C-alpha cells in the first residue's frame, strides 16, 4: 500500500506589517472592535515587487529542506492562490522556474480559501495511487492587491503570506498517512464572497476599458460567518463518522484562519476543546489559501504539533468551497 505523508513544511510572512492602529488611520474602525470581532491584531503585507511565486519559493525551500528532498526530485507542483502572479503562465510554472527545475507538471488551483486543502487532496490521490512520489503543495497570497482599504468590513481581515508542504510516498502509515478527505462546493452561494475582475464576466461589460474595473474582494460577512461555522461543524461530524473516531482521537484541529470567532463558535457547537485548536490569526489575519499550511508549519515550529499526532484540517472559502482532511502527521 502507498500512503501519503507530510515530509516537510515551510512558511513565509513578509516583513512589512499593517496593524490595527494603522487601519484606525485609514477607515472608521478601532483596534478594540477588530480584536473583539476577529481576533486579529496585525497582518503582513508583501513588498512592492514581491509576487505570490516569490513568497511560494521561500516557503517551498524551507519545506524541501525539512523533507530532505531536492527540487529535482519533485514529481508535481500544485499552487493554490486567489490572485496569481499573472493569468499565464500559471504561478506553479513560475515557482518551478524559480526553483531552478524544469519538466515537472505544474498546476494552479483556484478554490479560494479552500485551495490548499483541494491541492493536498489531489496530491494525496496521486501519491496513494503510486503515480508520484513527491509533490509540492503551496498556498500563497498577496491579498493586499485585491483588498479595498476604504471598506472597513473587509480590509481589517486580510493579510499576505505563503505556506508549503512536501508530501511523499511511504509504505509505513505510522510515518504519516491520510485517513479521510472530503471536498465540497456550493455554487449557489457564490455571491456571498467574490472578486469579479480580472475575468471574462467583467470584460464582457461595456466599461471594461474605461479603467473602472472592480478588482476588490466583496463579502457578505454575516452570511459567510454562519456558513463557515456550519461547514466546520459538518466536516468535523463527517470525519468522525466516516473514520469511526471519537473526538479525543483527534489531537489538533488546524482550521482555515478566517475569524477567531468562527473557530470559537465551532468549539461551542461541537464541544470540541479550544485547547486542541490552532488559533493563528492574531499576527497574520486571514491569508486565504496560505492560512492552513502557514498555521500548521508555525504550530510544528512552536512544538505544539508533533509527529505521530492526528490532525483535522478544515477550510472554507469563496465559491463557496470547502474541504477537510484528517491525517497522521
Q: Which residues are catalytically annotated?
A: 113, 256, 286
Pick out residues in 29-88 that bind ligand COA (CB under 6 A): 29, 33, 37-38
Strands (E) in the chain, as ranges, are 3-12, 16-19, 42-45, 76-80, 106-109, 134-141, 161-170, 177-185, 193-194, 218-219, 252-255, 310-317, 321-328
Name residues contacting ligand COA, limited to 115-154 (CB under 6 A). 152-153
Listed as own residue / partner, the contacts of 184-188 with beta carbons closer than 8 Å and 24 or more positions apart are 184/231, 184/321, 184/322, 184/323, 185/111, 185/319, 185/320, 185/321, 185/322, 186/227, 186/319, 186/320, 186/321, 186/322, 187/319
Decide if residue 195 touches ligand COA (CB under 6 A). Answer: no
**Nearest CB to ligand COA, comparing residues 145 and 245:** 145
Per-residue mark of binding to ligand COA, 271-300 (x: CB under 6 A): ---------------x--------------
Which residue in 227, 225, 254 sits closest to 239, CA to CA? 254
The binder of ligand COA chosen from 95, 156, 277, 325 (CB under 6 A): 156
Contact residue for ligand COA among 259, 289, 322, 324 (CB under 6 A): 259
> Of 289, 2, 294, 33, which Cα lies nearest the Cα of 135?
2
From 91-99, 164-172, 216-224, 294-302, span contacting ligand COA (CB under 6 A): 216-224
The CA-based angle 307-241-246, given to 5 degrees, is 55
CB-based closest residue to ligand COA? 221
CB of 231 to ligand COA, least distance (A): 10
- Between residue 297 and residue 326, which ones bind ligand COA under the rule CB under 6 A? 316-317
Residues that bind ligand COA (CB under 6 A): 29, 33, 37-38, 113, 152-153, 156, 219, 221-222, 224-225, 228, 258-259, 286, 316-317
Amino acid at each position: 500500500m502507498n500512503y501519503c505523508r507530510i515530509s516537510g513544511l515551510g512558511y513565509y510572512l513578509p516583513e512589512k506589517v499593517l496593524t490595527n492602529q494603522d487601519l484606525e488611520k485609514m477607515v472608521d474602525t478601532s483596534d478594540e472592535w477588530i480584536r473583539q470581532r476577529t481576533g486579529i491584531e496585525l497582518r503582513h503585507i508583501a513588498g512592492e515587487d514581491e509576487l505570490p511565486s516569490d513568497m511560494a519559493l521561500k516557503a517551498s525551500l524551507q519545506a524541501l529542506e525539512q523533507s530532505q528532498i531536492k527540487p529535482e526530485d519533485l514529481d508535481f507542483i500544485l499552487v493554490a492562490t486567489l490572485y496569481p502572479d499573472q493569468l499565464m503562465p500559471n504561478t506553479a510554472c513560475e515557482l518551478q522556474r524559480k526553483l531552478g527545475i524544469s519538466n515537472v507538471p505544474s498546476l494552479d488551483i483556484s478554490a479560494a480559501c479552500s485551495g490548499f486543502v483541494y491541492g493536498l487532496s489531489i496530491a494525496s490521490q496521486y501519491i496513494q495511487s503510486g503515480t508520484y512520489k513527491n509533490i509540492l503543495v503551496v498556498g500563497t497570497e498577496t491579498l493586499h492587491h485585491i483588498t479595498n482599504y476604504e471598506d472597513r468590513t473587509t480590509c481589517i481581515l486580510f493579510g499576505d503570506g505563503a505556506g508549503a508542504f512536501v508530501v511523499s510516498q511511504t509504505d509505513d502509515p505510522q510515518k504519516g498517512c491520510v485517513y479521510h478527505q472530503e471536498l465540497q462546493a456550493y455554487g449557489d452561494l457564490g455571491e456571498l464572497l467574490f472578486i469579479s475582475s480580472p475575468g471574462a464576466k467583467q470584460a464582457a461589460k461595456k466599461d471594461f476599458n474605461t479603467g473602472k474595473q472592480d478588482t476588490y474582494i466583496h463579502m457578505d460577512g454575516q452570511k459567510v460567518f454562519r456558513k463557515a461555522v456550519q461547514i466546520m461543524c459538518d466536516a468535523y461530524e463527517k470525519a468522525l463518522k466516516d473514520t469511526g473516531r471519537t473526538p479525543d482521537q483527534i489531537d489538533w484541529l488546524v482550521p482555515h484562519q478566517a475569524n477567531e470567532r468562527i473557530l470559537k463558535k465551532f468549539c461551542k457547537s461541537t464541544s470540541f476543546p479550544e485547547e486542541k485548536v490552532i488559533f493563528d490569526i492574531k499576527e497574520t489575519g486571514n491569508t486565504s489559501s496560505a492560512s492552513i499550511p502557514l498555521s500548521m508549519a508555525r504550530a510544528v515550529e512552536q512544538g505544539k504539533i508533533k509527529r505521530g499526532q492526528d490532525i483535522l484540517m478544515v477550510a472554507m472559502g469563496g465559491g463557496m468551497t470547502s474541504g477537510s482532511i484528517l491525517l497522521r502527521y
